Amino acid sequence: MRVLVLGGDGFCGWPTSLYLSDRGHDITIVDNLSRRKIDVELEVDSLTPIRPIHERISAWKEVSGREIGFVNLDLANEFDRIVAVLNEVQPDAIVHFAEQRAAPYSMKSAKTKRYTVDNNVRATHNLLTAMVETRVDAALAHLGTMGVYGYGWSGSAPIPEGYLTVKVPTPDGEIEREILHPANPGSVYHMTKTLDQLLFSFYAKNDGLRITDLHQGIVWGTQTAQTAKDERLVNRFDYDGDYGTVLNRFLMQAAIGHPLTVHGTGGQTRAFIHIRDTVRCIEIALTNPPQAGSQPMVLNQVTEVHRLLDLAKMIGDMTGCEIAYLPNPRREADENELCVRNDQFLALGLNPTTLSEGLMEEISEIAARYKHRVDPTKIIARSVWRAGMETSADLMTEVPAQQ
């Protein structure tokens, strides 16, 4: 397949591009390098020494013999150029990762809230209108988030794959209707993914676009078989309070001997997936698109669920670190159960990597190996989220001198 990977320089996009290239697909990466620029803005850097995109692509050519195309393009703001790229590449499939993807960053300020909404909604809508305009009939896979569902809404019912069959009262009794699972986003970032869902529903219905929305859990793990082939191909590892997800922050804290910081009770249960499974899921989604005229297919890109406190304890047991409790800035339940359906992915052949298998590799191969690159002042999340949380300085704890 000819595949466009929008956001192909990012944490999910880069390993997806290499995996699909390795599997024989022709890849063109479209990226405006915004993720690297936000690192500059936040004065942080990937723990792993990621290389410039052109060096990455040359290294891949050396290692694999395969070419990857690259277009530096801002999907949210260069509509005419994405139209030209679609016309030129005539992709069979498109992967859309080109969105601002950190919840804490999206809540930092009016500026980051507005950037997140503008960038994400415009990127998605520009892509959809460009597909309609060019009549490129590509299968589109978009990275959504488990956060669209919220946590705890369904009681003991497992979170379905996007759609929910409900009973609606009528004067004569009740009728059954299949609905998109109600949206319960916890941040501006998550909200943008609920907006994307409505854009996808409309363009699938009105224009017959074939769209799969992948509601991904928290990704962990750094390397795939492809990114591990050469250090110049290494994937990014974010540990800072904005972009570092919970597991990465625990890993870094453990590596430098800082207590593992849990927001709230740690009773929050979340869904996880290893980056190696993410890239496989993307290919499965692209090769099994919905029919034209169908509603968007929604898959839960998730392989296991854990309570955050259990994760902290697991890493604490492996490394000897203590746990420290901090206030939780998010409006969410202290504790929740979580059961997520991922039947379609399992039926389509996904064979998950579990935390118990992969965690030790992260501790030794990534966190320990690169800990000399860490800035320990950046690990704690400091986004304020709303008025009344201005004492976010309270969220800081003393950090030990760098090891």
Tell me the C-alpha distance between 122 and 130, whole Å: 12
* SS3 at position 297: strand
Q: What is the contact mask toward its own copies in residues 315 to 354, using x (rule: CB under 8 A)?
A: ----------------x-----------------------
Query: CA-CA distance, 215 to 162, in Å (whole number)?
Result: 8
Q: Is 121 in the site for its own copies (CB under 8 A)?
A: yes
Per CB under 8 A, 81 contacts its own copies: no
Helix (H, G, I), strand (E, B) or coil at 273: strand
d(CA 290, CA 283): 14
357 binds its own copies, rule: CB under 8 A: no
Alpha carbon distances (Å) from 372 to 139, 187, 239, 255 = 43, 32, 13, 10
Name the active-site residue from 28, 115, 124, 193: 193
Report which of 256, 374, 403, 229 is spatially closest to residue 315, judged by C-alpha positions: 256
Catalytic residue among 19, 189, 203, 370: 189
* Residue 372, SS3 per DSSP: helix
Shortest distance, position 82 Cβ to its own copies, whole Å: 11
Known catalytic residue: 163?
Answer: no
Least gap, CB of 5 to its own copies (angstroms): 23
Residues 221-260 that bind its own copies (CB under 8 A): none
* Residue 145 bears catalytic tag: yes
CB distance 188 to 107 below 8 Å = yes
- Residues 85-114 close enough to bind its own copies by CB under 8 A: 110, 113-114
370 is catalytic: no
- Which residue has tokens 């928290």? 218
Quick one: 37 exposed, middle or buried, by C-beta within 10 A (0-12, 13-18, 19+)? exposed
The count of residues interacting with its own copies (CB under 8 A) is: 52
Binding residue (CB under 8 A) for its own copies from 125, 236, 280, 378: 125
Nearer to its own copies, 83 or 314 (CB): 83
Give yes or no for residue 153 binding its own copies (CB under 8 A): yes
Residues of this chain that bind its own copies (CB under 8 A) = 79, 110, 113-114, 117-118, 121-122, 125-126, 129-130, 132-133, 135, 153-157, 164-172, 174-175, 177, 179-180, 182-183, 185, 188, 191, 194-195, 198-199, 201-202, 205-207, 331, 385-387
